[in-house]
A and B are shown apart, each in its own frame.
Chain A
């Protein structure tokens, strides 16, 4: 069990650029979540996958955001035309289907938009 990994750990980009983050969940975890955490706040839910199906999206996920999990394993989160307000920590979590509750979080990707 190597834990949830995320890449990159830090990303600095200029406003208007596109960025893509990757999350590798714990193997055999079929549920995958993306959260966003701004400074001084708790994480906020963005979207959720069960296997390759994206089952739920938050209102926070504007049309500039897109997430995929093409083969039910790793997931990517893309932000197009980044804005300064997108600066945040993006956290990924995974969960076993038969686990009633526990989500395991990755170390996060810290995005800074200048």
Chain B
């Protein structure tokens, strides 16, 4: 079984500051992928970033980076230079031997002007 834990129900960050959203996972699979999705109030899930379990380097996509610590089973999302448009719900997810994604409960990020 796979499990994703996001312990921060809500986070606040000042515009232009960096913020880290926490994610820990549990799986017995040796090969797996970790994902972050953004869900604005409109409801659509927007893919942000992916990290494979065998990737040696942390993934980066523009202002998003994934701080992958395999031994600690953590995959934190770092958003640099926050913008007002970053205010949304953020979900960490993983996929192992099963084809479907397993999601965490999410973190509501609010960017303050």
A91 with B45, Cβ < 8 A, contacts A42-B105, A101-B95 known: yes
Instruction: Fill in one digit per residue for A77-113: 1 if any B CB lies within 8 Å of its CB, else 0.
Output: 0000000000001010100000011111111101000
Within 8 Å CB of B98, what residues of A?
56
Point out the residue from A44, A55, A56, A105 that lies within 8 Å of B45, measured CB to CB. A105
* A interface, size bucket: 20 to 34
CA–CA, A56 to B101, complex, Å?
A: 13
Contact of A103 among B43, B52, B101, B106 (CB under 8 A): B101
Alpha-carbon separation in the docked complex, A44 to B4 (Å): 12
Chain B interface residue number, banded: 20 to 34
A40 and B105 form a contact (CB under 8 A): yes
Which residues, 67 to 113 on B, are CB-close (under 8 Å) to A?
A: 91, 93, 95, 98-106
The 6 closest A-B pairs by CB, nearest first: A42-B103, A105-B45, A45-B100, A107-B44, A108-B43, A101-B33
CB pairs A–B below 8 angstroms (16 shown): A33-B99, A33-B101, A35-B101, A41-B105, A41-B106, A42-B93, A44-B103, A45-B102, A48-B100, A56-B98, A56-B99, A93-B45, A100-B33, A101-B33, A103-B47, A108-B43
Q: Which residues of B contact A (CB under 8 A)?
A: 4, 33, 35, 37, 42-47, 50, 52, 91, 93, 95, 98-106
